[in-house]
Structure 1
């Protein structure tokens, strides 16, 4: 799990730097702060949405939509929490790491200006 987490963190940081270069055409500390905030927030929101879905919050609504709009047998119906991906911890930790790096960069930016 640690190796997979480090791969996710390294990949996200490489993508953040590449997006800085693609969006801003150069790499500055402020552009890194902006892009890492958006990337970290997106990863955290993705993980929290997975956590809510996995927590069986929407199962009854999903089951009623399946019952109303399809002609499945009761045996074929599965709750949404079984269909959702199981891994939400790694994107959450990666997003939190990106936010921590962003906050560190923000402190450096304010101290240097």
Structure 2
């Protein structure tokens, strides 16, 4: 396991336990499952959104908006539009630690769910 993923995973588990105490004032298996679902879902959503944006899916949309709208009251020339950085190149971080952490948290949640229903 990579260091970033391991660090995110440990922080996510600690946040799950801390949020359980803050929201429900106690830690039970059901509360752990509920909170870990939202944390895993958030990491997976962030990773998949980043993957989509970095893949260039929204570049055509932003290019169209740049051609349609004006900047500071003046029309943009084709050279100015072409010089603008595409949105896919603006994101510099990699999504894989978030994806791995989301999948690990999802696995922990499913194991906890299996334990909850088979006790």
Same fold per TM (> 0.5)?
yes
For residue 14 of structure 1, what is the aligned residue in structure 2? Answer: 14
Q: Given the two structures, how large is their TM-score scaled by the length of structure 2?
A: 0.86
- Bigger Rg, which one: 2
Q: Number of matched residues?
A: 112
Structure 1 distance, partners of 2:6, 2:19, is 20
Structure 2 distance, partners of 1:15, 1:5, is 15
Alignment of 1:1-113 (within 5 A): 2-71=2-71, 73-74=80-81, 76-112=83-119
Partner deviation per Cα, 1:42-90 (whole Å, 9 max, x = no partner) = 1101100110111111101112222333436235411110012431110
Deviation at 1:27, TM superposition (A): 0.6
Q: What runs of 5+ residues in structure 2 fail to find an aligned partner?
A: none
Q: Could you list the structure 1 runs, at least 4 aligned residues long, displaced by more than 6 angstroms after superposition.
A: none
* Greater Cα shift, 60-69 or 88-97: 60-69
Is the 1:41–1:95 Cα contact (8 Å) retained in structure 2? yes
Is the 1:63–1:77 Cα contact (8 Å) retained in structure 2? no
Q: Given the two structures, how large is their TM-score scaled by the length of structure 1?
A: 0.90
Structure 2 distance, partners of 1:12, 1:94, is 8
